[in-house]
Every structure is written in C-alpha cells, then in structure tokens.
Amino acid sequence: MRLGVLDVGSNTVHLLVVDAHRGAAPLPAYSYKTELRLAEHLDKEGKIAQSGADELVSFINQAAELAEDKGCESVLAFATSALREAPNGEKVLERVRKETEIDLQVLTGDDEARLTFLAVRRWFGWSSGRLAVFDIGGGSLEIAAGSDEEPTVAVSVPLGAGRLTREGLTQDPPDKDEVRALRKRIRMEMAAVAGTVLRAGKPQRSVATSKTFRSLARICGAAPSDDGPYVPRSLNRDDLAEWMPKLTKMSAAERAELPGVSVGRSTQLVAGAMVADAVMDLFDLPSLEVCPWALREGVILSRLDQLQPR
C-alpha cells in the first residue's frame, strides 16, 4: 500500500510518501518539505500567530493534493512539541481539520520517544540487545531505552535545539557567558532524567537519530548522505569535543558552509551540539551510532502493525 506521512515538527513540515506493507521495510517514494519553523511563529503569550497558522494550513493543503496525486491510500498526519505546547494549539488543529480535511494528531513527548525507539529497534534488530535511543528535535530531546520493541523507559525533555537557541543564544557567534549558562541548564535538566534511564540497565547499543545528530556526525567525518542509508555512521565523543570550541566561535553563515549543515539548521547547531555532548558525557557513551530511521518510520511501522495480515 502507498501511504503519506505528514510530520509537523518545530522546524520542518514534511510529507513523505512510502510504499509499505506489513513485514517489509517502508520504501520512500516521494518527499516534499519546507522549513516552516512553527515554533518561531509565536506571540508573547506563546500562541501560534496568525502568520504561522496560515502557512501551516497552506502547506498541508499542498501536501494533501500531492499525496492524492501520488496515489496514497491514506495520510498519517502528526504534530510534535510546537503544537503540543501552544496555548491555542487545539484551535489551530481544528482549523487544519476544517480547511484541509486532514486529521492532525498531536503526539505526546513519550509517544515520540516510544515510536522512535520502535523504528530504531526494527532497523538494527534483536541482536542489538538493550537499546538506548536519543533524538534531538526542535523543541525537545527524546530518550528511550529497553530490550523489547516497547521501551522500558521513554521520556521527553525540553532540550530541543531550536528551543534552546531561541531561549539561550541571542548573539551570532554565541556569547561565551550565554554558552556557559546554557551548558549548565542542559546538564541540569538532563541529569534529572538520566538516573531513570540508567537504572533500567546499561545499554548494549546506543543510537542517535534526527537531523541534528546526522549533521554533527557528518562534520566529525561520517559518510555523506549521498552514500545511502546502509553505510554505518557514528558520532564519536572525542571528535565532537574537538569541534565544540570551533562551533561556538563560528557565525551561523560559517557553520552553514560545513558538510551536512543546511542554512536553516546552522543557527541551531551550537545548541544541538551542546545537547549531544551532554548526552554522551552524562550517559558515559564514547560514541553513538546514527540510525537513518526515526519518528516518521516509527509512525509508519506502528500503523502497519495494526493491519490484519493477508
């Protein structure tokens, strides 16, 4: 069957069309996305502004038409922290349903962590044993760990790269005092949940997903995306530690010239790198393997699992 998956994130709104059936890996057939940066369309009260809602509705209408043109049987549409946390999020959702006929479901942070974990488990398989999975989004960091397809622990922490950049880094290049204060905040908030994750047991395989981790791995020497998804990639703690002082001294424009870093993501790279550094430090991980599957694939796999076998 052909499915459309519409992912409304804090940074990007992405329609992915896949050919999928139960028991097989979903195969990407078409991709259409824009860096809407919904979390930046907020007023002083934290509500999504009219401009942001207008752009969201416009893109979803385009995505719905494209999904129909590509022959999708259905569209699985979900949203993450930007809509989840906005005081007027439900009103925006109702407008989307009314004007686009797309039922946009808001995932909880724990749902994000759980579904991302499912995708990573299916990618690496049972031989990985106990998994620990880390995903840096625009608004939050998701952490999940366990030995089955359902994680033993799944938590969401408000340490997304976009959020931290907006709230903690006001200058370009970042001010050293702001960097120090943000580093302290990240480590305090992460330490508050680290014990819960580690108490369930030391992971046998530690994995990172998301664009932020992929960009950092590419900067530190991992293979480019053009080499395909099956090339092993990892982010090493020592390599990232060597890059950290360089990244904090660069402007966003300079970071955008690094391999694997887009202009839109370059502003958030320092905050994302600080989160990645804290993850590997506080969880005592010398490296993280990078998985090409993440939340979108988890949503697809979960949907396929609900289908009756032929």
Provide the residue-wise pLDDT of the chain in tens; the chain has 310 residues.
899 999 998 889 999 999 988 888 999 999 999 988 888 888 888 899 999 999 999 999 999 999 999 999 999 999 998 899 999 999 999 999 999 999 999 999 999 999 999 999 999 999 999 999 999 999 999 999 999 999 999 999 999 999 999 999 999 999 999 999 999 999 999 999 999 999 878 999 999 999 999 999 999 999 999 999 999 999 999 999 999 999 999 999 999 999 999 998 999 999 999 999 999 999 999 999 999 999 999 999 999 988 756 5
Burial 244-277 (b: 16+ CB within 10 A, else e): beebbebebeebbebebbeeebbbbbbbbbbbbb
> What domains are there in the chain, each with its CATH number?
2-106 (3.30.420.40), 109-295 (3.30.420.150)
pTM, rounded to two decimals: 0.94
Strand partners, 4: 17, 75
SS3 readout for the chain: CEEEEEEECCCCEEEEEEECCCCCCCEEEEEEEECCCHHHCECCCCCECHHHHHHHHHHHHHHHHHHHHCCCCEEEEEECHHHHHCCCHHHHHHHHHHHHCCCCEECCHHHHHHHHHHHHHHHHCHHHCCEEEEEECCCCEEEEEECCCCCCEEEEECCCHHHHHHHHCCCCCCCHHHHHHHHHHHHHHHHHHHHHHHCCCCCCEEEEECHHHHHHHHHCCCCCHHHCCCCCCEEEHHHHHHHHHHHHHCCHHHHCCCCCCCHHHHCCHHHHHHHHHHHHHHCCCCEEEECCCCHHHHHHHHHHHCCCCC
